[in-house]
Chains A and B, each alone.
Chain A
Amino acid sequence: MLLEIVFIAGLINFVAHYYGLMKNFSAFTLTLWLLGGMVLLFIAAPLLGLFLSTGAPKLFDTIQDREVTRSISLTLWASMAATIIFAIGAIPLAWLLARRKFRFKGLVNALIDLPIVIPHSAAGIAILGLVSRDTLLGRIGESMGLSFVSNPAGIIIAMAFVSLPFLINAARDGFSAVPEKLEKAAYNLGASPMRVFFTISLPLAWRSIVSGLIMMFARGMSEFGAVVIVAYHPMTTPVLIYERFGSFGLSYAQPVAVIFISICLLFFALLRYFSNRTALD
C-alpha cells in the first residue's frame, strides 16, 4: 500500500516537474524521464518505506540502547581507522600506477579490483585464513597481545580489504589527471621528486583522493559479509541489524537500520561539504 502511494506521488511530482522545466515537449525525452524516474524510484522507495514504517517512539527507544550506540561508534571508528591506516600505502601505490611503467601493471590493476568482484563472504574466509590464531600473522599478533579474530583489529582488516579499491582507483585517476607538464615544470625549477610529489602531485590530485577516502570509509562502514566472518563480536551495526532480524524479526531490525542510515547520510553530507570547501580554497 505504502509503496503504491509513494510511486503515485513520485509520478505526479515528476509530471509536474516535466511540464515546468521542459518546454520542448518530445515523446523521446518523456520516455527517458519515465525510465530514469522508475530507477530513481526504485532506489528511493525502499528507503523511504523503511523510514515511514518506523515510528518515533521505537526510534527513541533504540537510540538509547547501549548495544546499538556502541555498535555504531565501533563501525564508524573502525572504518575510519581502516581508511587512514591503509591510505598511507594506498596513495603511493596509486601514484605509482598513474605515473610509472612496470611489468605486470595490467595484472596489478586487475588485482586491485578483485575485492569488488569476489563474494564478500569469500573475502572474509580468505582474511580469516590469513589472520586466524594458527597462522603466521596470527601468531605474530598473538605474541604482541593482539588478536585479529573477534577483535576490532580483524574488523579493520576486513573493512580495508573490501573497500581499498575505491580509494586506490580514485587516487590513481586523480594522479593521472594531473598534467605531467606541471610535474616536469617543478623538476625544472629544481625540486626533488619528493617535493614534487608533496607540493604538486598530491595537492592537485587531492580532490579525487578525498573523494576516494570518503568512498572507502563509506564502503568499509557498510560491509557485512567479510566482517561477520572475521568478527561476529564485537558487533558492527550491519552485523547487529542482521542479528536482530534473525533473532527478533523485521520490526526490531528496522529502527537500527533507520538510525544507522541516518547517521551515514549525515556523515557523508558533512564530509562532502567540507571536502568541497577545501577544494574551492
Chain B
Amino acid sequence: MIELKNISKKFRNFSLKSINLQVEQGSYFVLLGNSGSGKSVLLETIAGFYSPDSGQIFINKKDVTNLSIAKRKTALVFHDSALFPHLTVRGNLMYSLKTGKIQRSKWDSLVNDMASLTEVSQLLDRYPAKLSGGEKQRVALGRALLQKPHVLMLDEPLASMDVTLRSNMRSLLRKINRSGQTIIHVTHDFEEAAMLATEIAVIENGSIMQCGKPAHVFQSPKSEFIARFSGYKNFFEGNIVNNNGHSVFRTKNIEIVLSDSEAVGYGFAAIRSEDVSIGIEKPISSARNNYRGQVTSIEQYHSNYEIIVDAGQEFSAYITAEAMKELALDVGSWVWVSFKAFSVKFIEK
C-alpha cells in the first residue's frame, strides 16, 4: 500500500499542493490530468527523485520519505522508456537483477520468463536503437517488473503507440495487475483511465481534485474541470446484454441502445450533454433512446442551460436559452430525454 500524506513541493513555476493519496495493495490506480498538472512530478516524487518540502510517503506502512531512490523499490517506467542504449535488451532486463540478491543461476530463467510475458523474447540480443516505440515500452516494463517492485509506476505508457498496440498493451497491463502487482498509471486520456482503473484520482494544477472509483468520479464529477476533462457528463456503469439480436447496455435502472453491435461485456456508456435533447412530448424521431423523467435542476451554463433530469438515471442535457424559453421548463416539470444510439460511446473495462 502506498500512502501520501500532505505532500507539498515547490518548483520554480509550479508546485504540488498538499497531496493526500492512498493506493491499496493490488489496485490499478490511475492519475488523470493534463500536461503540466503535476502528475509526472508526483510519480517522480514517489520514486524519490525529488524530496518533498513537507509531508510523508509511506510504502507498506513504512515511512520512505527520506529513503534513497535505490532502496524504495518503486519501479518507474518513463514516458520515453529510458532504456540504456549501450546494453542489449537482455542487458537492460538484467540490470536490476545484478543489484538484487537473487542467485545468478536463476537470472536466465527470470529474464526469459519476463521476456515472454512482455513479448520481447525475439529481441533479447538487440540494442534499444533498433526497437520500435512499443517494443521499447515493453522492454522498459519488463525491466521495471524484474526488480519485483512494491509498486509499478507508469508515465503515459500508451502515448506513443498506435491503436492495435495500445489494446495489446492494455491487456498486458491488466494481466500484470491481476497477478497482484499494484500499479500507478499516469495519463491524460480519460478513456484509457476508464478502461484500466480500479481507482482514479484527478489532478489539476498540483492538487488532487477528486478521488474514487471511475464510475463514481465520472458520473458525479465534483468540479467543472473533471466533467470537461472527460467531455462526458452522462456516464453509466453496466453490462452489454443481448436483447432480440441487438446489443443493449443495461444499467441498474435503464437500458440504452447502442449503435456498436460488436460491443460486449462490462464497462461504461458515455453520452455528451450536447447530444441529449429535451422534449415535452415523446418525440417521433430516429432517436432510439427515449426516457421520461422529472427535471431536478436547471443551471445557467455560459449563455445556455444545463438541465438535469431524473429518468431512472440522472441525465444532463445542454439546451439553448431559446429552447429554454420555448419549453418553459421548471424544476419538477415532466419531460422526455432523448438521444441517438450513435451518441453513445461504450468503453469496455
Contact = CB atoms under 8 A, between A and B. Distances in A.
A188 B85 contact: no
Interface string B84-112: 11100000000110111000000000000
Contacts of A190: 70-71, 73, 96, 99-100, 147
Interface residues of B, number: 25
A181 B100 CA distance: 21
Interface string A59-80: 0000000000000000000000
Interface residues of A, number: 17
Interface string B63-87: 0000011110111101010101110
Interface in A178-219: 179, 181-182, 184-192, 195, 199-200, 203-204
Given A184-B82, A189-B95, A190-B99, 11 more contacts: A184-B49, A187-B70, A188-B70, A189-B143, A190-B147, A191-B70, A192-B70, A192-B99, A195-B98, A200-B84, A204-B86
A184 B100 CA distance: 17
Contacts of B215: none
Nearest to A181: B82
Interface string B198-217: 00000000000000000000
Contact of B96 (A184, A189, A192): A189
Contacts of B73: 190
B270 interface: no
Interface of A: 179, 181-182, 184-192, 195, 199-200, 203-204
A199 B70 CA distance: 15
Contacts of A181: 78, 80, 82
B67 to A, nearest CB: 12
A184 B74 CA distance: 12
Contact of B95 (A184, A191, A203, A204): A191
B47 interface: yes
A188 B86 contact: no
A146 B76 CA distance: 54
A188 B69 contact: yes
B41 to A, nearest CB: 13
A190 to B, nearest CB: 4
B47 A188 contact: yes
A191 B72 CA distance: 11
B332 to A, nearest CB: 58
B313 to A, nearest CB: 44
Nearest to B85: A204
Contacts of B99: 189-192, 195
A44 B208 CA distance: 68
A185 B78 contact: yes
Contacts of B95: 186, 189, 191, 199
Nearest to B80: A181
B147 A189 contact: yes
Contact of B74 (A188, A191, A199, A204): A188
A188 B46 CA distance: 11
Interface string B118-157: 0000000000000000000000000110010000000000
Nearest to B71: A190
B140 to A, nearest CB: 8
Nearest to A188: B76
A182 B100 contact: no
Contact of B69 (A184, A199, A204): A184
Contacts of B147: 189-190
B110 to A, nearest CB: 14
